[in-house]
Structure 1
Amino acid sequence: MTQIPLLPPPFPAAEFHSRLKALRTAMAARQVDLLIVNQFEHIGYFGGYWSTGSMYHAFLIPIDGEPVAILRALDAPIFRELSCFTEYVAFNDSANPLKTVAQTILAKGYGAAAIGLEYDSNFLTVNRARELESLLPNARMVDFSHIMWEMRQVKSPLELVYLEAAAEICDRAVKAAFDVAQPGINEREVFTAMTGEAWRSGADNGAVAVMTSGPRSSMLHASLGHRTLAEGDIVHVEPIPRFRGYSSRMQRPKSIGAPTDEQMRTAETMIRIQDEQYRAMKPGAEAKEVDRILREGILAAGLRDSYTGITGYTLGFVSAPRLSDFTRVFLPDSAWQLKKNQVFHMYTSARGMSFSETIVVTPEGGERLTKMDRRLFY
């Protein structure tokens, strides 16, 4: 059994107060008196806690004063354990959570205020938004979509430490998987080794990996099968662990038995083109130009007939139901510039193999947080 790594401590309260200060600046610019936060990532990012999505809950942030969590009574202990904030209102399972939110807002004196709503939240459905509006008829609802997603793009030094911890979990999980992946082994044994190592090393999410093999190795989002590995198979693994909510990711292939010369050339070509893409990931770089390096390189090398998918996307704090954050993606028409300390999952695939890394943008180019060798294993 491998030694469990030394993990970084929880964020100090100062980290959350700094985020809250920046958020309140955005609220003031839009003349928002009170913000209703209900997207899980944003509750975790600004409130420091998260729970299940079984029932609606919210984090109320006034322009001044202490935030208030509105949550299921069952989840109150989690809030008290994780959050640096202390004020909350807990509702029983028989209660209407939206009425509890509205009653709390009225009790706090914001019944006729300008209230920000995340109209792009996975948890604020059309029906819920309409009900909140009917329960607060004197309030002025302000669209606060996109803003918090954008605020989370550039990572703080402490966030980078968490992402580095998650990246180390990726490295350890892939090694454990490849140590087991041999002819005659059921692919579920490989998956068990990978996920077990991820959890042992500090992953805090249930779905910590993706794996396929043989004819299905090019299906990056396939469900786990029941195959027994055989000579000539390519095994695809992608650990997606979260450490205290922060997700790093990595993809690697392994050949069961000696790979063919063509497979080795394909892997080396993919890696060479991808490394060129990483070197271009500097602050101020155009995202579409970073994308072009890999997309056109793969096509020019004849490794794919077409390339319609993205070549990278945002990483950071991630929570269900969104397992990936597409606030920023790399496509031919991506009209945005990279910023220092943005973090992305950059990936490519061809001919049943895929390679990816967790990359942080630095003045010297993209730096890998995932450190495992970049090669076709066998």
Structure 2
Amino acid sequence: MRCGWPRMRPSGPDRLSFQSMRSTLEQGMDLAAVGEFPLSEFEERVGRLRTIMRAREADVMLVDDIEPLAYFTGYERSVSFYRAAFIPLLGEPFMVLRSLDITPFRECAWFGDAVGYRDTEDAVAFVAAELKRRGYGAARVGVDFGSHALSVASFRKLEQLLPDARFVDMTAVPWEARLIKSELELAHIRRAAYIADTAMSEICGLAREGVSSRDMSAHAAGRYVQLGSSPGYVGPITYGKGWGFLHGFLSDTPMVSGDILHVELVPKFRGYSARLMRSVVIGGATDEQKVAAREIVRLQDEQFAAMRPGALASDVDAILRDGLLRAGLRDSYDNITGYTIGFYSQQPIRSSDFTRVFSPASKWKLESGMTFHMYTSAQGLAFSESVVVTPDGARRFSTLERRLFESGPAARHAAG
């Protein structure tokens, strides 16, 4: 995809200033080395979708959720105005969107057939008219009924305006098509993980009494952009005691000894994200915290080792969930222990992808090439990794040490 993604080969004075900011960690990573997606990759994605369309006898597929739209076309845009791509069984896809957005679409997408409507026109009515004009007025139209972009009102209007069409249930199909990543997608996630590692390492070194979570977030935001990520959400950076603060908010209040700084970084490289959690104990960790951190890491490592093709997701989940409960590190475990990661829009409707999750009810099986954000917390300490499933178990994208960090006189040293 070419949609304004960074070209990281600055020259002249810009290159000199850019190089001067680079840390030792940055020396071996060249953003330009991660190639853009070729036409053949988009054709392969569409081919897999068409296989399912044939099986369900759909003549044309409506794709309107932001992330699947980017996956199948190379273009992403918010749903401020309704827009959709249509992928027929035969022939080139076409796009219906605002006239204002046609040029950006053609700069990003792998195909150029796009029709635009004026802002004063009814977008859904225009879509229906375009389907009729192209001969799909009485077609079997595939629809993801779980789409975040297609409201109930919009769908009812389509039904009303296309009385001879039949809408085929393709719920979750566009999302599930994204589960297994290509080698180039993995390279994008790996690059995002490098950004997370660099920012996390620096934050763990900067955290101390007297600074705030806003200070830490500001540092991460700047480093994201310098390292090739698009500007956007940094991730939860909070602090407190206990564990209820993990999904809290930025604070301007200076940290004090005994606080636990929770850092979850979610950088994106050309839209592909890697996520990483670590904790920093301000002023030094207690013996209890050190023991808890070692046990959390041990159980999660055991979980990673079990993440092989064919493994049942609920079994993988139980390793960590049951282990922490048996160890007395948690009284209850209400949340999931992992979820799908991949491409995230710059304008997301949802900030996480729960196409696949790890819970006691997860009766699906892992496949090689699936990618997940596996996370856990106990005693106010949080650890997470972005991983890819391989025949040898889950492989981490991050290279950062899996340990508890401390600030203060003993800062930069492992706490367990």
Q: Is TM more than 0.5 here?
A: yes
Partner AA of 2:300 in structure 1: Q
Structural mapping, 1:229-244, within 5 Å: 229-244=255-270
Between the aligned partners of 2:88 and 2:123, the Cα distance in structure 1 is: 19
**Aligned match of 1:356:** 384
TM-score, normalisation: structure 1: 0.97
Is 2:78 the partner of 1:52? yes
Structural mapping, 1:283-298, within 5 Å: 283-298=309-324
Structural mapping, 1:342-353, within 5 Å: 342-353=370-381
CA RMSD of aligned residues (A): 1.4
Between the aligned partners of 1:299 and 1:189, the Cα distance in structure 2 is: 35
**Aligned match of 1:372:** 400
Aligned residues: 378
**Aligned match of 1:32:** 58
**Aligned match of 1:6:** 30
Is 2:117 the partner of 1:97? no
Is 2:328 the partner of 1:302? yes
Partner AA of 1:374 in structure 2: R
Between the aligned partners of 1:57 and 1:235, the Cα distance in structure 2 is: 41
Between the aligned partners of 1:222 and 1:82, the Cα distance in structure 2 is: 36
Is 2:296 the partner of 1:276? no
Q: Deviations over 1:336-359 (max 9, x none)?
A: 111101111101101111000001
Between the aligned partners of 2:176 and 2:76, the Cα distance in structure 1 is: 20
Q: Deviations over 1:11-47 (max 9, x none)?
A: 1111101101111111111111111111111101001
Tell me, yes or no, if the aligned pair for 2:60 and 2:87 is still in contact at 8 Å.
Answer: yes
Between the aligned partners of 2:38 and 2:273, the Cα distance in structure 1 is: 19
1:260 aligned to 286, 293, 299, which one?
A: 286
Q: Deviations over 1:84-139 (max 9, x none)?
A: 11111122211111122112111111111111112110111111000011111111
Tell me, yes or no, if the aligned pair for 1:342 and 1:360 is still in contact at 8 Å.
Answer: yes
Q: Deviation at 1:215?
A: 3.1
**Aligned match of 2:362:** 334
Name the SS of the counterpart of 1:251 in structure 2.
strand
**Aligned match of 2:410:** none
Between the aligned partners of 1:63 and 1:262, the Cα distance in structure 2 is: 60
Tell me, yes or no, if the aligned pair for 1:209 and 1:238 is still in contact at 8 Å.
Answer: yes
Between 283-292 and 209-218, report the one with greater CA deviation: 209-218
Q: Deviations over 1:313-342 (max 9, x none)?
A: 111122311111111111112111111011
Tell me, yes or no, if the aligned pair for 1:217 and 1:234 is still in contact at 8 Å.
Answer: no
Q: Deviation at 1:294?
A: 0.3
**Aligned match of 1:42:** 68
1:87 aligned to 104, 113, 119, which one?
A: 113
Partner AA of 2:35 in structure 1: P
Tell me, yes or no, if the aligned pair for 1:210 and 1:238 is still in contact at 8 Å.
Answer: yes
Name the SS of the counterpart of 2:236 in structure 1.
strand
Tell me, yes or no, if the aligned pair for 2:241 and 2:258 is still in contact at 8 Å.
Answer: no
Name the SS of the counterpart of 2:356 in structure 1.
strand
Partner AA of 2:232 in structure 1: G
**Aligned match of 2:140:** 114
Is 2:219 the partner of 1:193? yes
Between the aligned partners of 1:271 and 1:255, the Cα distance in structure 2 is: 16
Tell me, yes or no, if the aligned pair for 2:303 and 2:317 is still in contact at 8 Å.
Answer: yes
Tell me, yes or no, if the aligned pair for 2:221 and 2:231 is still in contact at 8 Å.
Answer: no
Tell me, yes or no, if the aligned pair for 1:291 and 1:330 is still in contact at 8 Å.
Answer: yes
Q: Deviations over 1:226-256 (max 9, x none)?
A: 2201122110011112222212101000111
2:42 aligned to 8, 16, 24, which one?
A: 16
Between the aligned partners of 2:73 and 2:246, the Cα distance in structure 1 is: 33
**Aligned match of 2:200:** 174
Tell me, yes or no, if the aligned pair for 2:337 and 2:359 is still in contact at 8 Å.
Answer: yes
TM-score, normalisation: structure 2: 0.88
Is 2:241 the partner of 1:221? no
2:103 aligned to 77, 81, 93, which one?
A: 77
Between the aligned partners of 2:290 and 2:132, the Cα distance in structure 1 is: 65
Between the aligned partners of 1:333 and 1:309, the Cα distance in structure 2 is: 12
Between the aligned partners of 1:216 and 1:89, the Cα distance in structure 2 is: 54
Between the aligned partners of 1:356 and 1:218, the Cα distance in structure 2 is: 17
Tell me, yes or no, if the aligned pair for 2:35 and 2:184 is still in contact at 8 Å.
Answer: no
Partner AA of 1:332 in structure 2: P
1:247 aligned to 273, 280, 286, which one?
A: 273
